[in-house]
Amino acid sequence: MARSADCRSRSVITDRPVVEQQIGPETFEYRPGFLGRDHADGLLQYLWRGVVWHQDPIVMFGRRVLQPRLTAWFGDAGARYRYSGLDLEPDSWPRRLAELKDSLQRELEQSFNSVLVNAYRDGRDCMGWHADDEPELGPVPTIASLSLGATRRFLIRRGNGGPSTPMDLEHGSLLVMRGDAQSRYRHAVPRTARPVGLRINLTFRHVRQA
């Protein structure tokens, strides 16, 4: 689905209880403190300083606009991803992201072959309402979303509109979206007027390769 540019509306894992946010029959599973604080701090700085960031234009409502955030795409060879007029070829896995992917696969018993990394530089950067329902993700994808840096508000609502449910995604936390979460719901990270620092979000996924 096109992402809206209108955003108004190893031992790295800590032993924390799972906190589940239940939306209807599907579960958005939230795990605060999934990464230890030192590891999360180091990974935030490593990504911000070491990643080659892009701000590509996307097609929204028939016109090209710059994405209101920075992005990078890593994955296995052939893990191409398409959304909003973009056709992304993956950069090879940096060692630290490959290790993190392996840890997530063991923890969640789920295979991942790619990760979309988003950098929200301040409160003006955002993600509009969308679902990760591109055909190459399959009908019932599992997406593991890791947050680093500033806490940002994450909104969930049914695909046909209506009230939204807020979740505050904290530094080092993990949000797992499973089952029909992408086909029945939409999610967003809205702009905020309050002072807020850098946030980096990593969404691990499995892309069907041609």
Nearest-angstrom CA–CA distance, 152 and 149: 9
204 is in an annotated binding site: no
206: annotated binding-site residue? no
106 in a known ligand binding site: no
Q: Is residue 46 a known part of a binding site? A: no
Q: Annotation-wise, does 120 bind a ligand?
A: yes
**Annotated binding residue 199:** yes
Was 153 annotated as part of a binding site? no
Tokens linked to 69 = 């955030």
Closest by alpha carbon to 156, among 24, 60, 68, 4?
24
Is 54 labeled as ligand-binding?
no
130 annotated ligand binder: yes
Is 187 among the annotated ligand-binding positions? yes
Output the known binding site: 61-63, 81-83, 118, 120, 130, 133, 187, 199, 203, 205
Output the known binding site for substrate: 61-63, 81-83, 133
Output the known binding site for 2-oxoglutarate: 118, 120, 130, 187, 199, 203, 205
